[in-house]
Amino acid sequence: MRDYRDFLGEILISEKQLQERIAELGAEISRDYRDKNVLLICILRGGVMFLTDLMRQITIPHAIEFMAVSSYGVGERETTGLVRITLDLNTPIHERDVILVEDIVDSGQTIASVLDLLSTRKPRSLCVCALLDKIERREVQIPVRYVGFTIPNKFVFGYGLDIDNYYRNLPFVGVVDLEKYEALRAKS
């Protein structure tokens, strides 16, 4: 695997900026959901870093759950529009105040499918908290109640977001120089 520096275009959001914004989101959620029965549902795998940092900034009692969906495969850079649930919840969400925790909303197809599915299970409330919003690319209008950062239409990686399943561990969000990345991929 290549060192990420070989194809990093620029650091879009630094570790410090991420942590400061996540602290604000955590405080906001703690205020808005006081006395609610909060369940954070993390969409695997991209949402994992965001979830673990966000929950440490939420000061009210809450539970967590995980779901996984597949939207696109290695070498593909956008969703096919066909979203499959590959891991479902183990608990009923009836009477829970559900917050869906996502890394990024791009076309909106993934979140739209998950919202459709979860609303059939009649939670007490349901909203979306996304770290990143690539708003220019939206195909399906979905309500996003909490947004960390609105970003331009560029392929990003790090802080939970992968490029072909790697580099999720980086503490910042970087822009992929796709030309460099694809050239390196063709060589290996």
Chain residues 94-133 in contact with Mg ion, contact rule CB under 5 A = 103
Binding site for ligand IMP (CB under 6 A): 46, 71, 79, 102-110, 155-157, 161
For 41, residues 6+ apart whose C-beta sits below 8 A from its C-beta are 64, 65, 66, 67, 89, 93, 98, 99, 100, 101, 118
Distance CA 160, CA 173 (A): 9
Q: How far is the C-alpha of 117 from the C-alpha of 84, rounded, in Å?
A: 11
Looking at 53, 97, 103, 106, which residue is catalytic? 106
- Output 32 or 177, the one with its CB closest to ligand IMP: 177
Q: Which residues, in sequence order, are bridge partners of residue 133?
A: 105, 150
Specify whether 106 is catalytic: yes
Report the residue from 26, 46, 123, 174 that binds Mg ion according to the rule CB under 5 A.
46
Residue 36 or 154 with smaller CB distance to ligand IMP = 154
Residues that bind Mg ion (CB under 5 A): 46, 103
Residues labelled as active-site residues = 106
